[in-house]
Structure 1
């Protein structure tokens, strides 16, 4: 069942409206044009998309038969890597706020014959699952989710004890390339609802204290991962 959407946050940045309504509008358009979305992801990952998505999945240490939750699954670009990791006896719970993105993800799954994926629509800050999962992943999703701290809390709550979480996201360049930051911020806040002011590595450590972190692509991509601690 779709999860009820609550009131959105006020924008933390003058560039952009980060409300749920605006996020829905942006990703509705991307969901209707998945090939353009795929091209945009390739640009974001600087041509290393497959390698980096695989790294995000590898950090989960999944085994065949596991169940993994993907928060902000988009058009299903991680499914290929998750399917190999959990095998045909495993399961994927694909969660996204955008109906159009989920429809594109369902079409991808149907075309590939992946029958072990459950699709759920809703606000990640209100995420509730009936049974805990072995792992949680989100790639380029948390930075675009309003009330992302609640979304992280809900994601960790959905994990079994000692289950792994893997969050991959982007941040502005530093050093020489930082001269392009105004342009990057202008484009990505408007076309991806990207809130670059979020401190996601620090935020996830509120719930995963011993989380590991790797920086990639010259620091523009990071991955934070680790196990859910015992109570």
Structure 2
């Protein structure tokens, strides 16, 4: 089911991240949060994206109503982990002496965090599009996809990552006020998140 596949991936990835963070704390205390975050990002992306990208419109439509996990918890935890990744990046900029392992971990945490937050946005768009609404032919749940096609998992990933890259929509129209609010928040977040990433990368390059 959509619920079990989506959130089991999240909780399993979070569990692995915690274990890695605790293990790293014994060996490299200053890098525990960094490698715990990276582990969470990598595991979540592998488990979640592989399945979701292959999910058909019929599968999403028939399973979205089962979605009842606390979305606020996913949002809070994800934002906290991404904040930790960005903090590690700025810490690397400010540090006078940093090892190659920490440098590599810090640099990969940023794209992994970016990919993770927009993957979660794609899942949420799928839920909002299908859940709690009549499953009738031609149904549109706030997004108008080209050729009136019923969107599958890849379609929602495309929509979310376009917003993540450009802070705007492309060939998919937003047709409900509720979706407009979600897209607006996603676009604003993407703009500032991308701005912070660019600023941090510039600082890293200048400090080399």
TM-score normalized by the length of structure 2: 0.27
More strand by share: 1
More helix by share: 2
TM-score normalized by the length of structure 1: 0.25
